[in-house]
Structure 1
Amino acid sequence: MQPVNPFEYGGVVGPDAFCNRHQEQADLTRAAENGDRLFVYAERRMGKTSLVKRVLAALDSDRYVPVYVDLWPTDGADAFVEATAKALATAAATRADKLLEASKSLFSRLNPTLSLDQGGNPSLQFGGPTAEKVRSLDEVLAAPPRVAEKRGRQLVLVFDEFQQILFYQDDHVERALHSAVQQYDGVATFFLGSRKHLIERMFSDSRRPLYRSAGHYPLGPIATEHWVPFVAERFDAADKPIAPRHVEALCALTEGHPFYTQHLAHALWERTPHGEPVADGGLEGALDVLLRREGYAFTTRWETLTRNQQRFVRGLALDGPDVQPFSSEFVQAHGLRTPSNAQRAAESLLKLDVIDREDGAFVVTDRFFKLWVRRLAVRS
C-alpha cells in the first residue's frame, strides 16, 4: 500500500502535520493562563485556528475550560447570540444530559430546547423571535464569568473570524462586548481575525468601541529554516529524498505561508515516485498541476477586476515584497498613471479580499493566484 500523504491543508491541521509554532504556542498558553485579552490576527489560511485549537487542547482540563465560538457563519447580533450561547452552555454542562439544564440556567430568556441531530447527538436550539435574541445579548455576554465560577476553572473564550461583526447591521455587538470584557474575571478572551485591515481598524481606531481593549498578537509565515527539516523528514519517511535546495525553492514560491507550503508539498509528494529522489524539475511540475487546476477560478477572478486593479495586482506579483505601490516608479511601470489611481485600486482590492496589508506593505492574499498572475504577465 502507498503511504498516506503527510501534508495537510484546507482545514484544521492535526498534530502530526503541524510545523513549528513552538514560541507562538508558548505565548498563547501563557496568555490563557494569565487571563489576558488578546487579538490574534493573521492572513487568511495562516493557521491561526489550528494553532489556537492546539493550545486549547493542551490546557489542563482540571484548571481550564475552553470555549470556542466560530463567528464565520453569523450575519447579525441574533446569530452572534445563538453561537455564543451554544458554546457557553456546552462548556457549562459537565455531561451531555445536563446540557438543557445548563442552558436554561444561563439563558432562560432564549427558550432553549434540545433535540437529536441526524447522528443521534444532542443539538441545542434557541427559540423566540430575532428581537428577543438581540435583547438577550447582554445576558449572554455576562455568562462567561458565571460558567467559570460554576465549573471552578478559568475560562478561555475564543471568538474566531471576529471580523464578521463588522458586517452586522450596526455596532451593537461591538459596544456590548466592550462593556462586558472589561468586567470579566477568571476569563481569558482571544479574538481571532483573518482580514487584517478590518481587524486592525476595530482595535486601533479610537472611534471604534473595542479600541485598545486587547493586546495584539500578529501571526506571520513560518521561516524556511523550520520548513526544511519538516518537509525533508516527511519525504524521507516515504523513501522520497528531497534536497534542502528544493524545499528552499518551494518556500520561496509560497513565502512560508502554511496553507500554500503544505499544499505545494502535498502535490510534489504525490508526483514523486516511491524510492526516487525529488527531481530537479519536480517542483515546477507540481506547481504547473496546481495552477492548471485553479486556472478557471483564477481566470474568472482576474476578469472581474477593473483594468487598474489588474495593473496593481500584476505590479505586486512582479515587483516583490518591498515594492512601494504608490511611488511614481511603480505607477509608471505598471500603467496606473497617477498615485491616486493606485490608491483607489488598492482600497477596492482590500474590500474584495484580493490583497491585504502586511507590515506596512501589500500582499496578494492567494499565493497561487499571485504566481498565476506572474506567469500571465510574463506570457503577455
Structure 2
Amino acid sequence: MNPFSYGGVVGNGEFCNRVEELADLTETMKSSGRCFVYAERRMGKTSLVMRALEKLSRKDFIPVYVDLWPTDGSASFAATTARAMTTAAETNTTKLLELGKTLFGRLRPSVSLDDSGQPKVDFGIDGRTVSKTDLTEVLEAPAALAARSGKKVVMVFDEFQQIVEYENDLAERQLRSSIQHHKNVAYLFLGSRKHLLQSMFLDQSRPLYRSAMHYPIGPIQTKHWQPFITKRFSDNKKRFPRPLVAELCERTQGHPFYTQHLCHVLWSLIEPGGVVEAAHLDQAVSELLRRESHAYVTLWESLTKNEQRFLRGLASSETPPKPFSSDFTRQYGLRTASTAQRAAESLVAGDVIEREASSYVITDRFLRLWVSQLQS
C-alpha cells in the first residue's frame, strides 16, 4: 500500500507533525472556546479538526460536525445544522425523533430509513424561508443539548464562508446573538477562502466581528517532513536522501496536500531497494503536471495578460516578493502598482492566489510549478 495519502480526510497515522495545532484545538474544544480556523484549500484543516474531535471522550462531549458547503440559504443552514446535531446526539430511531421534536419542534422533524436501513432525520422546511424565530430555535439548541445531556457540545461549522452567499445576513446575526451567551458549548468556524472569512470576523460592520479568536493553519516545515517522508520510504525498503526531501518540500512549499501527492507519485516510481535520485523527482513532477495540464491551460487562457504577468512574478520568486514594488512591476511588465493591485484582487477573488503576510502565494502549488515552467 502506498503510505502517502492526499485528498479527503486523513487518519491519525497519516499526519505529519501538527502536534501543537492538535493540542491547541483540543484545548479550545475542552474549554468551550470560540475559534476561527482558516487555511488555504487542502491544507488539512478539516482532517486536523476531525482528529481533535476523535480525542474527546464521548462520555463528556457531544461533537457536532456541520458541513455548510452544500447549503445555499438560511433554510438549508437551519436544516443541515439541526440534522447534524440530532444525529450526533442520538442513533436510536425512537430517541432520534424524540430529540428532534424536543430541540427543533418548529422545523417539523421526521425520521425515516436511508438506503442502508439506517435511521435519518429530516425537517419540513424545504422550499420555504425560515424566520428569525426558526433560526433562533436552531442556534439555541447547542446550549439546550448541553444542559439536557450534561455534556459539553462542540459545534464545528466547516466551509463557513458559504453563509456569505446566503440571501441575507440573518444567519450571521442570529449566530452572534446566540453564541455569546452559551456555556458548555465550543464553536469552531472553518474556512478556506481567507479573504471572505476575514471580512466576516474583522469588518466592524459585520455581525460576527471579533466574536472568535483567529487560528491560521499554515504549511509544514521541512524539518518535520524529512523524518516523516524518509521513514515511510525506508519502511518499504526504499531510500530517500534528506537533501532531496528538502528539494521536494521547496517545490511544494511544505503544503500538505501537494507534498503528500508528490510523494505518492514518487514512491510508486521507486522499486524496493531503490534510492530516490534527482531525476526521479523531476519525473514525478513532470507526471503530475502532465495530468493537470489541460486544467492549467484552460485557467491560463481565461486570465488577462496582467493577471498572467502577476502569476509569472509570483511563480518566479523563491522568496515572497513585494508585488507592488517598482522592481516587481517593471520586471514583469505591469507598468504601475495600481495595475498589479487590480490583477491581484481579481486573482484573489478567483481563488487562484491568497494573501500571505505582505505578499501572495499561488494556492495550487503544482500550478506554481507549471507557470514556472512556462518561463523556461
TM-score category, normalised to shorter length: over 0.9
Q: Residue 220 of structure 1: SS of its match in structure 2? A: coil
- Aligned partners of 1:63 and 1:153 also within 8 Å: yes
Deviation at 1:114, TM superposition (A): 1.6
Counterpart in 2 of 1:292?
290
Match for residue 6 of structure 2? 9
| Runs of 4 or more consecutive aligned structure 1 residues displaced over 4 Å after TM superposition | none
Structure 1 equivalent of residue 233 of structure 2: 235
Q: Which amino acid counterpart does residue 77 of structure 1 have in structure 2?
A: S
Distance 1:51 1:149 in 2: 28
Does the 8 Å contact 2:9/2:47 carry over to 1? yes
Q: Among residues 141, 145, 148, which one is paired with 1:147 in the alignment?
A: 145
Q: Who is 2:106 aligned against?
A: 109
- Report if the CA contact (8 A) 1:321-1:363 is conserved: no
Do 1:110 and 1:133's aligned partners in 2 also have CA atoms closer than 8 Å?
no
1:58 aligns with 2:55: yes
Q: Which amino acid aligns with 1:198?
A: L
Which ranges in structure 2 are unaligned for 5 or more consecutive residues?
none
Question: Aligned partners of 1:332 and 1:229: how far apart in 2?
Answer: 42
Contact 2:306-2:334 within 8 A present in 1 as well: yes
Q: 1:309 & 1:179 partners in 2: Cα distance?
A: 41
Work out the CA distance in 2 between the residues paired with 1:177 and 1:128. 19
Return the alpha-carbon distance in structure 1 between the equivalents of residues 38 and 51 of structure 2. Answer: 16
Question: Are residue 278 (structure 1) and residue 264 (structure 2) matched?
Answer: no
Aligned to 1:39: 36
**Greater mean deviation of Cα atoms: 193-202 or 262-271:** 193-202
Aligned 1:344-363 pairs, distance under 5 A: 344-363=342-361
Output the amino acid matched with 2:64.
V
Amino acid corresponding to residue 111 of structure 2 in structure 1: L
Q: State the alpha-carbon separation in 2 of the partners of residues 54 and 275 from structure 1.
A: 34
Q: How does 1:125-204 map to 2 (within 5 A)?
A: 125-135=122-132, 136-204=134-202
Could you tell me which residue of structure 1 aligns to residue 78 of structure 2?
81
Q: Secondary structure at the match of 1:27?
A: helix
In the TM superposition, 1:303-318 aligns within 5 A as 303-318=301-316
Could you tell me how far apart the structure 1 residues matched to 2:330 and 2:11 are?
A: 47
Tell me, what secondary structure is at the counterpart of 1:357?
Answer: strand
Question: 2-side partners of 1:250 and 1:279: how far apart?
Answer: 11
How many angstroms apart in 1 are the aligned matches of 2:331 and 2:359? 18
Question: 2:358 & 2:41 partners in 1: Cα distance?
Answer: 17
Cα distance in 2 for partners of 1:166, 1:78 equals: 14
CA deviations 1:264-319 (Å, max 9, x no partner) are: 00010011112211123111100000000000011001111111111111111112
Alignment equivalent of 1:21, drawn from 10, 15, 18? 18
Q: Which residue of 2 aligns with 1:335?
A: 333
Q: Distance in 1 between matches of 2:87 and 2:311?
A: 45
Aligned CA RMSD, in angstroms, stands at 1.2
Deviations 1:81-111 (A, max 9, x none): 1110001111332634421111111111111
TM-score (norm 1): 0.96
Q: Is the 8 A contact 2:93 2:111 kept in 1?
A: no
Is this contact kept in 2: 1:39–1:216, CA < 8 A? Answer: yes
In structure 1, the gaps of 5 or more residues are none
Q: Do the aligned residues in 2 keep the contact of 1:241 with 1:277 (CA within 8 Å)?
A: yes
| 2:115 corresponds to | 118
Tell me if structure 2 keeps the 8 A contact 1:142–1:180. yes
